[in-house]
Chain A
Amino acid sequence: MCRMKSSEIPTAALVLGVNVTDHDVTFKSLSEVLQDNVTPYVVSLQAKECPGIKHLLQKLMGQLMDCCVDVDSSEEEECVNISQKKIRCSMASLSKWYESVTKKTGSETPSKKRTSSSRHWQSPPIVVIFKDMESFTTKVLQDFIVISSQHIHEFPLVLIFGIATSPMIIHRLLPHSVSSLLCIELFQSLSCKEHLATVIDKLLLTTQFPFKLSEKVLQVLINIFLYHDFSVQNFIKGFQLSIVEHFYSQPLSVLCCQLLEAKKRVNSLSHNQCENIRSLPSFRRYVENQVSEKQIALLTEDSFLKEVTQTLLEDLHIYHENYFTVLRCLHVFTTSLPKYPLGKQIRELYCACLGKRVWETEEYGSAVQLLRMLAKDELVAILQKCAEIFISSGKQFSNTVEKLEEFLARFQNLEVAETNEVQDMSVSSQKELQKKTDLYHLQKTLLELKESKRSKKLTKFEMLRFEVVDFIDSLVRSYLAPAEMQTLNEVVYFNTANTLREHLNAAPRIALHTALNNPYCYLKNQTLKSDVGCISNTAPDICIVYKLHLECGRLINLVDWLEAFSTVVTAVEGTDPDSVATDQVDEIIHARFIRAVSELELLGFIKPSKQKTDHVARLTWGGC
């Protein structure tokens, strides 16, 4: 830590990244940690609460007073008194308050003045957190810093700036004269991607929770994260929504719980629920693969079905237990490859494996190819890591662990053997070259040498490497079968990505546009049916008016519009122009037109204009 002048305010600049919505959680835990370990006086301020220096001080004092109530309830009265007087918020009163508080709590410490040499607070500092530094007005920030630097001797103060963009912003917001009053230390938070990785690791890649996301759903959530907001909170929200949707819409989600509980619940299933199980596509697939007597039993006897369901659920559970271990192991392998054919992050690998048979994909093929070219030390390191993963996962992989350890041992043995061999090889070939020969023979031997190199017998290491890769491949094939193939996967997997997208990432403009352009999408009336880009002239008034207005430029003449509208409408109704009621019909059409136009105005397509009499201005695409 740099040496600090006594008048400088120690300041932490916290670079948090653009995912603003996640910052709140960070700050909350930060202030909790500070309150537990450092000082009770932690204040967090938001820009929107502090439009002026007065408000800022008010907020600051308000929060500090609350703190002191927590610390010492006997002081409550005093505080209430103060707040009733609507405290004159100034730094002077703040330092007075601080003095009184510290005197009470820490009366033993004789010297209140901190010495600049010792960095230990003799009395707890006041920590002020500016949650969103960029949004504060420069004036407020500058004033606050200047004022408080005057009082730094009276009470210790620490500032924390929350920064979403880059540390440069400090210097843009604060002139040199102000920033020189601060002693800034920069801190960088983890990137949001890492937070997401943690969330996925703890929530999805574990058997702890029975609920799972299907590939499409996970893809949607990850895409919203990567392409829209980088917000881990939003990811969690999407996850929550998936849970709600799953338990709301899937009747068999009652079985989506811990295995023991699920088995119990299977016993109490009603007949209807059994029928639900029978209608699951995955279960039907399962039934089709059974012998005919068993098929009949499964489809007719509830009790037998329940028995089978229990074993199937257990299978599913075991499948998951194995799945994640092998997935992690495969991930260790694939992250060491150049260009990451199967993705760098484990979530990418997970998505790839969830959706389809991963070993049938091109990417997997190239990954295996690359694995076969790994160097020995890399391979050994990876194998060691895998062994650790398998060991930590429990007993069911003891065979695999043994096998891995065997491989490791063989690699060890290779080392000795290999060196000998290499020496042999080189010696023999060199001997041959050293023999005196004519040009023809030399050429021949060289050619032979080349040939032998090309179709060289595999070295022991290479053989072993093949064996290892084949072993991993067999693991993948046996354990990483896609979830959709598992019987009863519908119970625990949420797979309607569609609803999720509709509710999280809606497109209101498109909905509006569709309704106006092609009402048949919503109103299933045959008269409205039309091709893309067409509209029936029996469509609702607003659609016709909208269609007509698309033909206009920036300004629309209301008279023309009305006339066009009435042309269309009267044609549809097929009214006789000579009929008695024409006048009234006209009035009605006029009224309908007025309604449609004011609806368009409400929707924001047009607005009244003063540029020309009886004109409206178009506000949307193509018009503005």
Chain B
Amino acid sequence: MSQLELKRNKVLEARFVADEDVLKHISDNGGVKVRKDRAQLALNVKRFVKKLENISDDDEAQEIMEEQNYVAVLGACAEDSLRNGPSAGGGKIYSFQTPKRSGKMAELASELAQTPGRNVTFDSSQYPEKPASTPQSSKKYSASNKAQLQSEKNEFVSTTPYRLRKRLTAPSLRSDSESDYSASCSEEEEEDKDHKETSDVILDQKTPSKTRAAPASKKTPAKKLKEEMTSNLVEEYFEAHSSSKVLTSDRTLQKLQKRKLDQQTLLVLLNKAPPAFTAELKELNQQHESLFSKWMLQLHLGFSIVLYGLGSKRDLLEKFRTSLLRDSVHLVVNGFFPSITVRSILNSITEEVLDHVGTFRSPMDQLDLIMKRFKEDSSLELYLLIHNLDSKMLRGDKSQQILAQLASLPNIHLIASIDHINAPLMWDQAKQSLYNWLWYETTTFSPYLEETSYENSLLVQQSGSLALSSLTHVLHSLTPNARGIFRLLAQYHLENKDNPSYPGLSFQDFYQRCREAFLVNSDLTLRAQLTEFRDHKLIRTKRGTDGVEYLLIPVDNGTLTDFLEKEDEDM
């Protein structure tokens, strides 16, 4: 595989360059530009192709010129900032969906594993790329045609002898007059083997050949390649979107006999794992920390600061807080906390910062008061640090609106971090101008320990301590009878815990049992009681296939057992 890659590099005149991808990402029209660039590259090799250059390209030239003007300024800067990192294949980011082969991941993994200590090549061709020529919708038709033609041609290439191929490629070159062929054409003078390689590469660039097997090490069976080449970009696209069937293996974690870890053991285990790249991480952090005084200045000048980039920014913000904000009034909001609300943020401002007693009818009123107080008293200053401004609880439109209005106050200084890839979509223009953001890239690579510990993670077993405490709290506020009702249901639930097809307790059954235990005297009282439970999310009702109402407790069995034991102790 890596050998292959080396060879590719050698012949690759028209290789996909990431910088171009950046440009492409910046401007939609960039796709055209990339193609053009490639065309020009090819021109150097073969002059005559120039005549065949698509006229539409010339038409677009004007447009491209303007586009380039824009890209030159915005894009050139992006390139400048390469030394600092952010260059990424736009094509890789925004690609079409293509059908995926199951088992692909395992293959890749074994590839990675086979070359320990070395760089394993993930050629960009392995990932679905945005085909350079398709994005313009008006061109869709021609693009699809092109792809077809190309794949057919490539088929020729790999099967026919050299002479014949030469004859065959010439007309097809003329027919679609797309510059991309010039690249493969130019290779004709070279060795046959090389040729195969190039056409392979071109195909990779043009069609997201997801179905193509990863060329396993040295054996790249030409036959197999041929089959995949015929696959059509458009067909692939629709294939991927039409079938709702998912092709993945049916293995489950249970069969793997891996017990679910709880949060505690997870932490212990992670501490055992050796930390990697400590020196580099430290250097990164130091880079960011050197910006602290600048942030301070900019916060004071009425800007808000938002931090983005991979890695937890909690420690960084904490450090900022401890080093610069120790003597000023500040409020830290842990956005990742699952029960955080805007209301609680506003409450802490009014109660802790403004020493206001009393309640408010709506967050709007509260906001009004805060804004009034801060406007009246210019000596009042507040630093607002929000970790994960984009968390589930805060990302709502209303919450963002309120926070934005807070941030717009001249004496509230907001510094926040975002992590979600789509976080910037939270803000429309109005909100952005209220926030008055300055963006800072602070990639730290540090693990999101705190942030993910609250997330109901897929693989982490919930300890249920939270659920248990809420269960006891709610039940303690109820009448003994109500507690009895819930107990009854819980016991029944546990009795049936081994029955996989247990639908729940039907309402009629339940009523009967409750009557027998002298807990209720009419089904109305029971219903009233159940409504209360439902409001506290203690039970869930479900209609069975026969239309009967079934009652369920949406708490896992372990917690429920714990709860019953505790109840027994109390009694």
Contacts and interface: CB of A to CB of B under 8 A. Distances in A.
A508 B418 contact: yes
B310 A511 contact: yes
B309 interface: yes
B122 A515 contact: no
A572 B116 contact: yes
Contact of B269 (A240, A531, A554, A591): A591
B253 A532 contact: no
B45 to A, nearest CB: 22
A522 B310 CA distance: 10
B44 interface: no
A362 to B, nearest CB: 12
Nearest to A620: B421
Interface stretch (A273-281, A292-300, A399-407, A593-601): A593-601
Nearest to A613: B252
A568 B108 CA distance: 9
A154 B143 CA distance: 68
Contacts of B117: 527, 538, 572
A112 interface: no
Contact of A604 (B89, B252, B422): B422
Interface in B447-480: 447-448, 451-452, 455, 457-460
Contact of A519 (B78, B253, B308, B445): B445
Contacts of B443: 511, 515, 522
A33 B107 CA distance: 72
B77 to A, nearest CB: 4
A503 B122 contact: no
A531 to B, nearest CB: 7
Interface in B117-135: 117, 119-124, 126-128
A79 to B, nearest CB: 16
Nearest to A547: B122
A594 B423 contact: no
Interface string A607-620: 01001111110001
A558 B277 contact: no
Given A219-B73, A594-B266, A598-B458, A552 B273 contact: no
A131 B375 CA distance: 22
Contacts, number: 328
A227 interface: yes
A622 B124 contact: no
Given A20-B429, A608-B458, A523 B73 contact: no
A553 interface: yes
B123 A534 contact: yes
A536 B2 CA distance: 12
Contact of B364 (A49, A498, A515, A565): A49
A588 interface: yes
A521 B429 contact: no
Contact of A624 (B97, B113, B303): B97
B138 interface: no
Nearest to A513: B88
B310 A560 contact: no
Nearest to B255: A559
**Which of A21, A537, A548: most chain B Cβ within 10 A?**
A537
B137 to A, nearest CB: 18
Contacts of A166: none
A284 interface: no
Contacts of A563: 106, 109
B246 A612 contact: yes
Contacts of A501: 74, 77-78, 81
Given A498-B77, A510-B86, A595-B452, A504 B438 contact: yes
A602 interface: yes
Interface in B127-151: 127-128
Nearest to A51: B364
A226 B428 CA distance: 17
Contacts of B126: 551
A154 B113 CA distance: 85
B439 A502 contact: yes
A523 B281 contact: yes
Contacts of A580: none
Contacts of A623: 97
A507 B93 CA distance: 12
Contacts of B439: 502-506, 508
Contacts of B421: 508-509, 512, 603-605, 620
Interface residues of A, number: 113
- Main SS of the interface on chain A? helix
A309 to B, nearest CB: 27
B248 A505 contact: no
A261 to B, nearest CB: 22
A440 interface: no
Given A502-B439, A535-B122, A602 B419 contact: yes
A8 to B, nearest CB: 32
Interface in B411-448: 418-424, 429-430, 432-433, 436, 438-441, 443, 445, 447-448
A613 B250 CA distance: 8
A529 B448 CA distance: 24
A66 B270 CA distance: 60
A615 B81 contact: no
A552 B100 contact: yes
B18 interface: yes
Given A502-B439, A522-B284, A535-B122, A588 B272 contact: yes
A523 B284 contact: yes
A501 B419 CA distance: 20
Contact of A614 (B88, B119, B253): B253
A513 B119 CA distance: 19
A220 B269 CA distance: 49
Contacts of B248: 552-553, 555-557, 560, 612, 615
B297 A244 contact: yes
A233 B124 contact: no
Given A511-B85, A511-B443, A592 B270 contact: yes
B401 interface: yes
Contacts of B280: 522-525
Contact of B87 (A503, A514, A621, A624): A514
Interface in A214-245: 216, 219-220, 223, 227, 229, 231, 233-234, 237, 240-241, 244
Which of A498, A510, A562, A605 has the most B CB atoms < 10 Å from its CB?
A510
Contacts of B360: none
Nearest to B95: A622
B18 A533 contact: yes
A590 interface: yes
Nearest to A502: B81
A86 B460 CA distance: 51
Which 4 pairs show the lowest CB-CB distances between chains A and B? Answer: A571-B113, A506-B439, A533-B124, A564-B109
Interface of A: 20-21, 48-49, 216, 219-220, 223, 227, 229, 231, 233-234, 237, 240-241, 244, 248, 497-498, 501-519, 521-525, 527-538, 540, 542, 544, 547-565, 567-568, 570-572, 574, 584, 587-588, 590-595, 597-599, 601-605, 608, 611-616, 620-624
Given A512-B308, A548-B108, 19 more contacts: A234-B433, A502-B441, A503-B439, A508-B308, A510-B90, A533-B18, A535-B119, A537-B115, A540-B445, A558-B253, A591-B270, A591-B273, A597-B457, A598-B448, A601-B452, A601-B458, A603-B419, A603-B420, A614-B252
22 contacts: A223-B73, A223-B74, A244-B297, A248-B294, A504-B438, A508-B309, A509-B93, A510-B93, A517-B92, A523-B277, A525-B280, A554-B246, A571-B113, A572-B113, A572-B117, A584-B272, A591-B269, A592-B270, A598-B448, A599-B448, A603-B420, A604-B422
Interface of B: 5, 17-18, 22, 25, 70, 73-74, 77-78, 80-81, 84-90, 92-100, 104-106, 108-110, 112-117, 119-124, 126-128, 240, 246-256, 258, 261, 265-266, 269-270, 272-273, 276-277, 279-281, 283-284, 294, 297-298, 301, 303, 308-311, 336, 364, 401, 418-424, 429-430, 432-433, 436, 438-441, 443, 445, 447-448, 451-452, 455, 457-460
